Structure 1
Amino acid sequence: MAEPERLIEVHIVTPDGLIYSHFGRILNIRAIDGQREILYNHLPILTPLSIGDVKVTRSQANNGVVDHIAISGGYVEFSDNVATIIADTAERARNIDVSRAEAAKARAEKRMQEAREKHDQQSFDRAEIALRRAVNRIDVYNRR
């Protein structure tokens, strides 16, 4: 008899509520200090996350489908085979409005150029973060 599949629970929460909740075999995240892969019985961790793509490889019963979720940073807490990601924003790839993301990218690039011309570092930094978020959303949409 085959051994039961070892799965972890993955929950992604934003101020708007629960965005994602499924079981998976593998959770891939981008922590501020690099890529992390979390599997069943991983040691407990609490770590800050960067703007990036959260990838959840689902169970073999789901044909190992990979769900992609764009997040704008946050934290992940993992213990007892439950991963909870708390993010300012999170969007599943299938829910991303790519034309809106591309418009946000264009606006951010324009604001960066204006800030560069005015030597306004604070505005430049804010626009650069907006650009990273928009590019991330576009990339996650294209991976679906």
Structure 2
Amino acid sequence: MAEPEKLITVDIATPDGLIYSCDGISVEMRAIDGQRTILYNHTPLLTPLSICEVKVTRDKEASNKVDHIAISGGYIEFSDNVATIIADSAERAANIDVSRAEAAKARAEKHLKEAIASHDQPSFERAQIALRRAVNRISVYNNKK
């Protein structure tokens, strides 16, 4: 008799509420200190996340059973085989408006150049973050294909 698949629950919430909840075999994301993959019975964990793509693999036999979610930083807490991500913002790949993300990227690049020209460090840092968020959303959208 086949052993039942060992699954973890992955929940992603933002200030707007729960945007994703699914059982999977793994969840991958970038913590501020590097890439992380969490599997069944992983050691309990609480760590801050970077602006990144979260990948939830739902089935190890089918490569199309991977969900892609763009997040703009936050935290992940894992215990008792439940991964809870609290993110500043999160968007499933299928819901990303790529033309809006590309427009945000262009605006951020423009603001970055203006901040460099005027030696405005706070504006430079805000533009860098906006650019990373836009590039992440575009990348996640492209990875779903």
Q: Which residue in 2 is equivalent to 1:130? A: 130
| Conserved? CA contact 1:23–1:59, under 8 Å | no
Supply the distance in 2 between the matched residues of 1:35 and 1:79 (Cα, whole angstroms). 18
SS at match of 2:114: helix
Supply the distance in 2 between the matched residues of 1:4 and 1:119 (Cα, whole angstroms). 59
Q: Which residue in 2 is equivalent to 1:38? A: 38
Q: Post-superposition shift, 1:60?
A: 5.0
Q: Post-superposition shift, 1:59?
A: 2.9
Answer yes or no: is 1:7 the counterpart of 2:7. Answer: yes
Q: Cα deviations across residues 13-37 of structure 1 (Å, max 9, x unaligned)?
A: 0000001000000110100000001
Q: Which residue in 1 is equivalent to 2:114? A: 114
Supply the distance in 2 between the matched residues of 1:26 and 1:11 (Cα, whole angstroms). 12
Instruction: Give the number of equivalent residue pairs.
Output: 143
Supply the distance in 2 between the matched residues of 1:60 and 1:77 (Cα, whole angstroms). 23
Alignment gaps of 5+ in structure 1: none
SS at match of 1:42: coil
SS at match of 2:4: coil
Q: Which residue in 2 is equivalent to 1:139? A: 139
TM-score (norm 1): 0.97
TM-score (norm 2): 0.96
Identity %: 74
Query: Cα RMSD over matched residues?
Result: 1.0
Matches within 5 A, 1:2-81: 2-60=2-60, 63-64=62-63, 65-81=65-81
SS at match of 1:77: strand
Q: Aligned letter for 1:16?
A: D
Supply the distance in 1 between the matched residues of 2:84 and 2:59 (Cα, whole angstroms). 18
Q: Cα deviations across residues 3-57 of structure 1 (Å, max 9, x unaligned)?
A: 0000000000000000100000011010000000100000000000000000000
Q: Aligned letter for 1:125?
A: E
